[in-house]
Each structure stands twice: as C-alpha cells, then as structure tokens.
Structure 1
C-alpha cells in the first residue's frame, strides 16, 4: 500500500460503501475493510473493491492457535488483499505460522500481503491494561514489547497509536511499519478511541501510515476532508 491515508470503511452494507466511493471516481484509494463489512459480505466485498482498483487492508485481527491462523492466512492470501493483521498477543509461534500461511497461499508472481501485528488497541488505556489485562508495565512498554516480538517473528510492522510510533521507529527502524489508527482532527469527537492524534502529530511522531474513518466517511464533503487530511499528513 502507498503512503496515502487508509480510509476505514465504517459501513454496514456494500451499497453504503459504493455510495461513498462514488465521491472518488477514478481515484485509487487505500481502504480498510473491518469485521463489520467482512463478516456480512465475506470475500465478495474484497473482490469488488479490488476490481475497482483499490488497495485493501483487511482488518480482522486474527488470534487463534497457530495451525488455525496459518490455514486462515493461506486462504486470505488468495483474496487479493494488500495488508492483513493479527494480534501480537497470540505469540511468536502464531505469528510465524501466519507468515508461513500467507507465503504458501500467495499465487506465483504475486506479492505476499503485508502482515502487521496489533499491539494494544487505540481504545485501550493505561488503567485497562493494569486492571483488566493484569499487565504491570506501562502501555508504552507493552506496545514496545509486542513490537519487538512481532519483529522477531517476521512481521512487517505493527498497529499502534501515533503516541508510541516514535519509540517503535527508534527501536526497530524505519522499515518496520507503524500503522496508526485513532487519527482525528482537533475538532473531532474521540468516540471510543482513547490514544489519538491528528495527521500532523502522527507524521511528526513517526507513523508510517495513518488510518482515518469517521472523520472522512461521515463528512458532508468527503473529498475535501480527505484532501485536507492528506495535506496535513504530507506536511503541506
């Protein structure tokens, strides 16, 4: 996927997706398909978007025993997605198996999808990891630990908040991706996101790519909002 913002398709139906994409005729976009869309429409939503020339980040955060994840990834590799994720909490063996599955399932001559690991969700707070996950370290230390484990397990990068991106970059290098959701403009509501940043802040903090959803998809003028975010992300 290129460096333009990834648009999270926070819709329930294919009809809503296509109505939104009609605002961007003949424009190749980076699109995130999450659980809501994928579980209702299955692979067909991916084929439709690919046939329209878009790049796809399939955000279904696999987390299961290594064999199951490996077989699932082998199947996903044939769906034409450009990026897929899993939970780093699944451990080294699960992540290594996922990579093996993606490679084995990728058709000859095609690029293996980028594989990234979720560290801590951007809806997670310091209080939650201590009280609910029983992790004694800080949320930043938890993210860095998962990032290191993901790198050692052959992942191409991680999902983290922009707030941790700079330290991940320093620790694991520029080429290790830092994909950051929770991107908002100053005037936006946080909704269920807790660790958030603006596109400008994400760029300065070392994010590789940003994921933007409702700020664009619920805008009265999605094209101008997309361009506004793109300019901020590019430092214009």
Structure 2
C-alpha cells in the first residue's frame, strides 16, 4: 500500500490556495479540502484542483439521516475526488447509505470513503463529560472503526496513537488516515492527540494529513519535503 502525505488547504478562499500551490510549480499534490474552503468556494474549487491533476480528499464529515447522506454523497461522487468522509457516529445505516450514494454518483471510479471516529481535538475526559460516553476513548474508536469496516467503508480518520490498535483489529489495508501531525518544534494549536510524521509511520498510519506545519511555514515547500522525508522513514537532523 502506498503511503500518502495529504496537505490540508485550510485557507479562507481560492486566492490563498493558488498562492500556496504556486510555490510547488508543476508538482501534483494530494490535498485536503475541508469545510472552511468548501463553504467559501463551493464545488468549483474541488473541480479546479482535480482538473489541475491534484488528488483531493474532500473532508466534509457528513452526519445526517441516511437518506440525506445518500443524496449528498451522490452529488459529491460526481466531483472526481480521491477520498471523502462522513461521521461514524451516524451509525451503520447512515454509512451504508453514504457508500451507496457515492457509488451511484461516481460510477466505476468510486472515491475512497472513510469515517471519522473521534476528532484529534477530543480527549477522553472531554468525550466522557461532554458526550456522556462512559467507555474509554480507545474502545469508542475501535467500535466506530469496526462499524465502518462492517459497513463496507475503506477506512477511518483517527489519531495515529490509535492506528496500531486498528491495524491489529481490522488489517493493514483498512485505511488509517491521521491528522494531528506536527514536527517536534511546532505548536500543537487546538490538537490534543498529536504525533510526528515518523511516529505516525511507526504506529501504522496509512495516510497523514498535515496543515499548519506546512501551510504556515516560512518556506512551505521546504517544510513539505522535510515532513515527506520523515513520513518515508528518513531521519532528519
């Protein structure tokens, strides 16, 4: 399985995206379009990135009744993205409906569909207090991931700290897409469960999502290459 570095384009608009991508010349990246960018620019920014040859992870985290998710995924399936997602908390029926809609919209070239287990900004204490979930964080993540697996999805979004557990339970081919990636010298910002790119690799992540450590760097291309090297197992410094 090819491991991938996904760059989070968490920018307020198209102009900032183009300015960032211009620093990479003709290089094609695997990029994430999340709510911030999609809700400002709409499907057009996704269509542009796909037309330019970039792989796109469309990170909208759908969570609604099964019929609504089915209809939404049918539309997203037409955009030509590489991967998209929904919330595992919506349950098996919703996840199966989302997968069905995505298949109908995309046809033969269906994007990968993954489910969010628990956000990497969530701690066990906060989950138990705010969401009234009494189980441990690991138990919840594994349960949600197993539901996604049994619903036919391709993987989950999780912390790298949980990737080994999920690999052992659900296999190496089941995707473990992991945000919360930082270099040792970087601020963790609003993330709680964070690791370095090399740690993510060792823990069994299949893709990592990196935003501010690249997009806010003084030299984004240099930062990208440094993170890519670590992700590929090359010691830095």
TM-score, normalised relative to structure 2: 0.97
1:172 alignment partner in structure 2: 170
> 1:116 is paired with a residue of what secondary structure?
strand
Q: Give, in whole Å, the separation in 2 of the partners of 1:153 and 1:47.
A: 28
1:184 alignment partner in structure 2: 182
Question: Does the 8 Å CA contact 1:2/1:30 hold for their aligned counterparts?
Answer: no
Once the two structures are superposed, residues 88-145 of structure 1 have per-residue CA deviations (whole angstroms, 9 ceiling, x without a partner) of: 00000000000100111114xx410000000000000011111011111111111001
2:103 alignment partner in structure 1: 103
1:221 alignment partner in structure 2: 219
Question: Does the 8 Å CA contact 1:181/1:210 hold for their aligned counterparts?
Answer: yes
Q: Give, in whole Å, the separation in 2 of the partners of 1:10 and 1:147.
A: 26
Q: Give, in whole Å, the separation in 2 of the partners of 1:188 and 1:112.
A: 36
1:92 alignment partner in structure 2: 92
* RMSD, aligned CA: 1.0
1:61 alignment partner in structure 2: 61
2:207 alignment partner in structure 1: 209
Q: Which runs of 4+ in 1 moved over 4 A?
A: none
Once the two structures are superposed, residues 132-185 of structure 1 have per-residue CA deviations (whole angstroms, 9 ceiling, x without a partner) of: 111111111110010001100111000000000000000000110000000000
Question: Does the 8 Å CA contact 1:9/1:34 hold for their aligned counterparts?
Answer: yes
Cα offset, 1:52, TM superposition: 1.1
Question: Does the 8 Å CA contact 2:4/2:206 hold for their aligned counterparts?
Answer: no
Q: Please tell me whether residue 30 in structure 1 is matched to residue 45 in structure 2.
A: no
Q: Please tell me whether residue 139 in structure 1 is matched to residue 137 in structure 2.
A: yes
Q: Give, in whole Å, the separation in 1 of the partners of 2:2 and 2:64.
A: 29
Q: Give, in whole Å, the separation in 2 of the partners of 1:138 and 1:198.
A: 24
Q: Give, in whole Å, the separation in 1 of the partners of 2:90 and 2:101.
A: 15
Q: Give, in whole Å, the separation in 2 of the partners of 1:40 and 1:183.
A: 25
2:13 alignment partner in structure 1: 13
Q: Could you tell me which of 230, 233, 236 is aligned with 1:232?
A: 230
Cα offset, 1:4, TM superposition: 2.9
1:194 alignment partner in structure 2: 192
Q: Give, in whole Å, the separation in 2 of the partners of 1:53 and 1:100.
A: 26
Q: Give, in whole Å, the separation in 1 of the partners of 2:205 and 2:127.
A: 23
> 2:185 is paired with a residue of what secondary structure?
coil
Once the two structures are superposed, residues 13-60 of structure 1 have per-residue CA deviations (whole angstroms, 9 ceiling, x without a partner) of: 100000000011111100000001101111000011111110000000
TM-score, normalised relative to structure 1: 0.97
> 1:46 is paired with a residue of what secondary structure?
helix
Q: Please tell me whether residue 76 in structure 1 is matched to residue 100 in structure 2.
A: no
Q: Could you tell me which of 132, 148, 151 is aligned with 2:149?
A: 151
Cα offset, 1:2, TM superposition: 5.5
Q: Give, in whole Å, the separation in 1 of the partners of 2:179 and 2:44.
A: 25
